[in-house]
A and B are shown apart, each in its own frame.
Chain A
Amino acid sequence: MIRYLSSRLFVFIIAFFLLTVFTFSLNFFFPGDPVTNMTGVRTFSDYYPVISEIRGADKNIAFQYINYMQNLLSGNWGASLSSGDYVFEHTYQHLFASLELIVGALVLAVLIGVPSGIFAATQFRGPIDKGVISLAMAGYSIPVFWLAQLLILFFAVKLDWLPITGQINPLYGIAPQSGSILIDIVISDSDYKAAALQDALNHLILPVIILSIMPMMLLLRLMRNATQDMLQKPYVKAARARGLNEFQVLIKHAVPNATQSVLQQVPLIFSLLLSNSIVIESIFNWPGIGNWLVRAIFERDFPVIQACVLIIALTILLFNLVVDLYRGWRFPIVRQE
């Protein structure tokens, strides 16, 4: 396990290093001055010569990279070119707002996708299985922004059950602190906490459901195929021969092994979820990382673009690491590769 752990950590560190090299080189690819792109200090500012001296703009590239890394690790991510705010201070608020959606969608996808996948596997090639699988195929072929439009039109406009955009009705006056609206409400000193919480949940429902559809359907298909594969293995036959009932065979023997192969695909699903969240946040005007990134691209706000790219990619790398470590810990066969 220690060998496995260290090898995975090593891979993570190398990937992180390559990622920072990439974001560092983005400063030179973006139009304009590299130091401005890094720090958000414009060339005509009085402060520019000082900053340029500190960042070593005239020194060699290795020195500049080391300097960049020092600033990156100490949380000095520069200032936004459009608003002048310090980027780092705002990054975690946007990140938490995004995570609220993403975690919600992921939990929903796992809670519904995995059991129905297992259920479909027990009905293999039956009418229910075929129905579920066709539904899943449709579910992950549907363009996520079109699905969002349809559901908004139906639930928010026609039926008027749910609000259309935003995190919460601004009249509740909840000040953003952590960025995640549910946490903010709990730690705020508002008199109407229960009502605010309900309003926030109403705002959450639609984006979370839309975001969860695609990963849910992918998980369903993967789980169904993997469980079906396992149910044909001799060891399942042996378990049945020992007199276990169908449910015990499924839960104790087939499903744990099926999970192993499904887990391998989970990082892929997660990165799909993240790229969908960029679109969904823009549609629902959710103050998350994806929405921030799209706005920054419109405004050509390079320090912010960089921060968003770094954070999104880092989230994915960390998620990969966690899934990998869990697989290694839970399934010894993975460690022996």
Chain B
Amino acid sequence: MPDVPYLSLSSVSFARDDLPLFENVCIDLFPGDILQVEGPNGSGKTTLLRIISTALTATSGQLRWRGNPISSVRHGYLSDLLFMGHAPAVKASLTPAENLKWWRRMHADTSVWSDREILAKIGLQGFEDLPCYSLSAGQQRRVALARMLISSANVWILDEPFTAIDKQGVKLLEKLMASHVSNGGVIVLSTHQTLTLDNYKRMTLTAHAPGAAYAG
């Protein structure tokens, strides 16, 4: 029985200008867990994910990584974190290969594959040297997915990762996620899509109703 959760949120609340968005969110995630955050628009899914990624600071409550409060292990946690937000964080005037190069330097890069191999894996063979603005929205999303192949981070936070991606892309992403958790990684994602993956946890945030429940 692993006693210490890999990632945990204890009674996390967020209020914008004293208006509570959600209150007392508690999550415990162990290696191999996938958590799908659901809820109607405006229920705070993105906010919750951005809090876990430390882009936002919670109004109250604590985020812990391997049992330690984030404030004391910030650098270690950030090195162990991969966050994909609404915007794909792809530079439109750079080529996919150049975007990769930039991420390799920003992330802890442990991948054994070359840029070309990675781009081939995400289905962008032949597009390596075109500027990203000439790619479709779905292809740009795929460029963003390449980060999952580069990074050695164990914690993946994915905000609506299936946006604009075609069927094969969805399959690819699910495969990446499955292999990540089978290696002991942790995933938190928000999506309205039903995942084809086995045994993932779900939690539902309710709009404007305090005390979102965690259904394990």
Does A associate with B in a complex? no
Give chain B's interface residues, CB within 8 Å of chain A: none
